[in-house]
Structure 1
Amino acid sequence: MKIELRSKVKKLMLASSIIACLASCSNVEQAAKSTIAAEPKQPNILFIMSDDHTRQAIGAYGGHLAPLNPTPTIDALAKQGTRFDNVFVTNSICTPSRASIITGQYSQANGALDLDGKIGVEKQYLPTLMSGAGYETAMIGKWHLKKEPLAFDYYKVLPNQGKYFDPVFRDINGKGKWPNNKVQVEGHSSDVITDLTIEWLSKRTSDKPFFLMHHYKAPHDMFENAPRYDDYLADVTIPEPGNLYDRKNFGSVATRGENGAMVSELGTSVSKRNPRRNMGIHMDVDQDLSEHDYTADSYQRYLKRYLRTVKGVDDNLARLFEHLKANGQWENTVIIYTGDQGMMLGEHDLIDKRWMYEGSLRMPFIVYHPGKPDAPKVNDDIINNTDFAPFMLELAGVETPEKMHGKSFASTLDNETLDNWRTGSYYRYWMHRAHHDVPAHFGLRTAEHKLIFFYGAHYDATPNQSDLKYAGHKWSRKDGVVPSKVATPVAWEFYDLSADPKEDNNAYNDPKYKDIIATMKVEMLQQRQQYAETDVNYPHIQAIIDAHWND
């Protein structure tokens, strides 16, 4: 009887142990699953860039065009995310800016000084590192870096500038090898590029997160909107910048010439000021109008065409964002919106980019991060486009390689203060008088001040000026080709942006700024060394710098 009882007790004890063990194992398994589930998932990263979309034409930035409500979709993104207010381009022209974004480097380091710059796969650092971090990568839209974007898993890109209507693309799946792997798609480029991105997203089979660069051609000149926008703003008078007609004490001998001798040459204008190239010529304005009426009509046509292409971008973003929401991707996708540089929209009677003036220098940069609901609404750290790659890499969990000049500012989304951050952003425009007759220059932009040195020489020292002749309003070679190598006067410009945000007064010779200017020159030299932006390879430019540094 006792033996039988003991046997039953042992069986009960064994059963209890098994049950306890199973329960324990189950708990361990559940705990493991919970741990796995708690690990943060890499977010998708959608980098959207429009060509020449300046912050003045984005409502969220509150400029004089904001009352027109040109960008409700982008404004809503800014309201949900963070608007970065002090973001600057390092070389305000399409190819160099895009090269700095892909490489995280200044122009001399990556080799793209001007529109002839090329970035091969060996320097396509950003997509390469994203792939290494486990991302599926794609590039759709305007590429403009000449070489095949082989670092991406998928690409469908416009050749060079591309066309607004029925654009041709170079397609990784097209027949033939780059650059002959072309396919044509019907429609307006902004609609088509959005369609292509939605198609790629819809057909993805990978379980990897995606890194997608979605680049619009719009609103690059010459502006061609989809026909449905022909009447947009037709009956509206576009607000004018206050210095469209009166340039005040803006500029210097470098931008006006001795005694104003080059006012009609330097910088494409809205008005008749530059008779060779002004927006009124391109906009078919009546040449018999008075100076004021011509300028007013030219400006209205210019801005309406520009904003109609902006409207097309904004509406297409609404369509793209709706796709992300409908397919459950919105809450795990970091969305970044920017332009490849700023754009002068009539300020100081100037159009296009290239200049270090505010309209051209400042970039829009808006970030929506669904995993950072408490991110600040506005940030005013001094950021430039070499920082974009490090920023996105940190979002993906990748450290910034030493070869990149930029630094990540991702911690700002957690309301952290950036340590040892720059106090000024260095800028350099290399092309000198190409296309829009902008003299070559470099400078430094701090939170409150801007210092610019116009050295006025092309980096290619040949041919000599004796090989050139002047006729009418342009220089030409004996073979008739317009050069970009004619030197212009050298001068400094300084603007106190805290007191003069519109840059109406060049205060370089004002004694009260002497110490500030001296400090900025020291910082400028340090950054030129730090970013390999010196002129050791261009001794003719260094000679100009040496001769005028203390002017």
Structure 2
Amino acid sequence: MTGPNVVLAVLDTVRGRDTVPASSSPMPTLAHLAASGTEFANAFSAAPWTLPSHASMFTGTYPSRHGAHGGHTYLGDSLRTLAAAFRDAGYETVGVSNNTWVTAEFGFDRGFETLRKGWQYIQSETDLGTVTRAEHPMAKLRAAGDRLFEGNPLVNAANLVYDELAPGDGAKRTTAWLESWLRRREESPFFLFLNFIEPHAEYRPPREYAEPYLPSGTTYEEAMSLRQDPRAYDVGEYSLTDREFDALEALYRGSLAYLDAQLARIRETLAAAGEWEDTVFVAVGDHGENVGDHGFFGHQYNLRDTLLHVPLVFRGGPFDGGGRRDELVQTLDLAPTLLDAAGVEDPELRRQSQGRSLHPDAEASPRRAVFAEYLAPQPSPESLRERFGEIPDRIRAFDRSLRAIRTREEKYVRGSDGSERYRRVGGAGDASAARNRAAENRERTRLLSDRLDQWLDSFEHAEAGGEVSMTDSTRERLSDLGYL
């Protein structure tokens, strides 16, 4: 195989509005890649959170088709994956995930020769993250005692030392590993998947990246001391003022700036290894974030554009000099696009894909609409009741599925509970979405609802299934990220 290398860098929890337009972005490296390559300014995820959004990117299908969502937290083996297509075409397939959802435990390893957990030095089923997250020495000792002899104690001890003492965080460690891997890799072209989680709550950017964005009169220490627990915020266990949300927004943007510095390091690493000019590099958000937007904190329970509109930038090969493109695209379009970019046929993946190739020479017609699904609340209201006790009616109302259709002019969201939201689209973000206009636009909502039904009837749906079991250590890590 003599095709180009392909690097798919997923910028976990990065909103499109923070990277488009590039002039106001805290991510100058991403802006530079966009200026020299091709930027899709109206790219939308098929789902508002990690598990279903990654499954859509990996398979080229919508959540109803691939079946990985809050009610069935596993990507089954009935669909072909992008990594498998590249592996069978002769590519070396390697991934580094810093998000606990995107691991073998949830079915995301298919097709990868290696899929590393970015928080471990030696790959192991036992996760020592609970030790490093403990806030005082006695708590660390108790956590270590609970975990050290689960599995291989020597491997656990090595991972504990690594997680405790190694400099930097997931992104920095990933780029350091990448440098080492490039020095020893085989000569075949590679497909490399990277997930960077820094913009995910809790936002903990280094001081120098956060301070330029802090509101006047707010110190870095004050911002970092704010509680960041989206699920506790949802149920009303604590509240945040507008000023406090402004401080959290600054930490979020500082996290973007820090992640951007790691993108620069990846580019330099690939260039130093002599691989940059032979690489198609893609940077994409898997979903966005609400930092007080629309009354939400995190990325659950709604399909607002703050969660669905994401950055999508291609650089290298046929995408160089492509400029800014404004048509509606979806992140699941990555599957056919990357096959075209590498000259990989893979009829099976192409047949199953609901994506449309964004390759400059592709003959796919532009999308007239994009779609998104939130098939089950994550965590469920029942899970929140178990954690917090009594929960407000607002949270009980989230026990529903949601589906959305968005054109260039309109957006319509329908819930399984009969709820509807409609608005005219004023731009890429949700600036004009404060008020639901469904009641005064009954004819338009009916037409869009019918169009949503036609889309749902146009493809086969995955079989419904129950929740998939997970290890205690994974459950704890996901709880820390606000998912459980």
Distance 1:450-1:182 versus aligned 2 partners, 3 A rule = farther
Distance in structure 2 (CA, Å) of the matches to 1:194 and 1:433 = 31
> Is the Cα contact below 8 Å between 1:493 and 1:508 reproduced in 2?
yes
Out of 507, 524, 527, the position equivalent to 2:437 is 507
Unaligned segments of structure 1, at least 5 residues = 1-39, 168-174, 239-266, 281-293, 457-489, 539-551
Cross-structure match for 2:145: none
Q: CA deviation at 1:509?
A: 2.2
Instruction: Provide the residue aligned with 2:224 in structure 1.
Output: none
Aligned CA-pair RMSD: 3.7
Other-structure match for 1:442: 403
User: Greater relative contact order: 1 or 2 (C-alpha under 8 angstroms, separation 6 or more)?
Assistant: 2
Structure 2 residue ranges without an equivalent (≥5) = 120-124, 134-150, 219-228, 385-394, 467-484
Of 184, 209, 231, 2:189 maps to 209
Question: 2:43 corresponds to which residue?
Answer: 87
User: Match of 2:332?
Assistant: 386
Contact 1:95 1:115 in 2 (8 A): no
Q: How many residues align?
A: 402
Q: Given that residues 93 and 115 in structure 1 are in contact (C-alpha distance below 8 angstroms), is that contact kept between their aligned partners in structure 2?
A: no
Q: Equivalents in 2 of 1:301, 1:406: separation in Å?
A: 40
Structure 1 residue 423 corresponds to structure 2 residue 368: yes
Residue of structure 2 aligned with 1:410, choices 354, 358, 365: 358
Q: Does 1:140 align with 2:96?
A: yes
- Give the corresponding residue for 1:284: none
Q: Which digits, 9 at most, give the CA deviation of each residue in 1:484-539, with x for residues without a partner? A: xxxxxx3211111149852133221225x61x33332222112112233599999x
Q: 1:56 to 1:372 in 2, by over 3 A?
A: closer
**Map of 2:422 onto structure 1:** 494
Cα drift, residue 83 of structure 1 = 1.1
Change (3 A) 1:234 1:348: closer
Task: Provide Cα deviations, 1:255-287, integer angstroms capped at 9, x if missing partner.
Answer: xxxxxxxxxxxx9699x9963354x2xxxxxxx
Matched letter for residue 460 of structure 2: A
The whole-number CA distance in structure 1 between the counterparts of 2:189 and 2:256 is 29
Q: Which residue of 1 aligns with 2:475?
A: none
Structure 2 SS opposite 1:85: strand
Map of 1:43 onto structure 2: 4
**Counterpart in the other structure of 2:144:** none
Quickly say closer, same or farther: Cα 1:142–1:225, change in 2 above 3 A: same
Residue of structure 2 in register with 1:302 after alignment:
248
SS at match of 2:327: coil
Instruction: State the SS of the aligned residue for 2:104.
Output: coil
TM-score calculated relative to the size of structure 1: 0.65
Give the structure with higher Rg (CA): 1
Residues 193 and 273 of structure 1, relative CA distance in 2, 3 Å threshold: closer
Rounded Cα–Cα distance in structure 1 between residues aligned with 2:358 and 2:458: 22
**Distance in 2 of aligned mates of 1:535 and 1:211:** 30
Output the CA distance in 1 between the equivalents of 2:113 and 2:234.
Answer: 48
Greater CA drift, 343-352 or 358-367: 343-352
> Alignment partner of 1:382: what SS?
strand
Q: Which amino acid aligns with 1:135?
A: Y
More off after superposition, 342-351 vs 225-234: 225-234
Match of 1:455 among 395, 398, 416: 416
User: Who is 1:126 aligned against?
Assistant: 82
Structure 2 residue identity aligned to 1:54:
R
Tell me, yes or no, if structure 1 residue 339 matches structure 2 residue 339: no
Distance in 1 (CA, whole Å) between partners of 2:402 and 2:413 is: 7
- Give the equivalent residue in structure 1 for 2:388: none
> Taking structure 1 as reference, are residues 124 and 306 closer, same or farther at Cα in structure 2, changes over 3 Å only?
farther
- Residue 323 of structure 1 is matched in structure 2 by 269
Does 2:179 align with 1:198?
Answer: yes
State the alpha-carbon separation in 1 of the partners of residues 62 and 217 from structure 2: 40
C-alpha distance in 1 between matches for 2:272 and 2:131: 29
Provide the residue aligned with 1:35 in structure 2.
Answer: none
**What is the identity, as a one-letter code, of the residue corresponding to 2:303?**
M
Q: Does the CA contact (< 8 Å) of 1:164 and 1:188 recur in 2?
A: no
Post-superposition shift, 1:121? 6.2
Q: For residues 388 and 165 of structure 1, what CA distance do their matches in structure 2 show? A: 37
Pick from 315, 327, 342: which aligns with 1:368? 315
**One-letter amino acid matched to 1:494:** Y
Paired position in structure 2 for 1:233? 213
State TM-score, norm by structure 2.
0.73
Letter in 2 for 1:295: D
8 Å CA contact 1:121–1:151 kept in 2: the answer is no
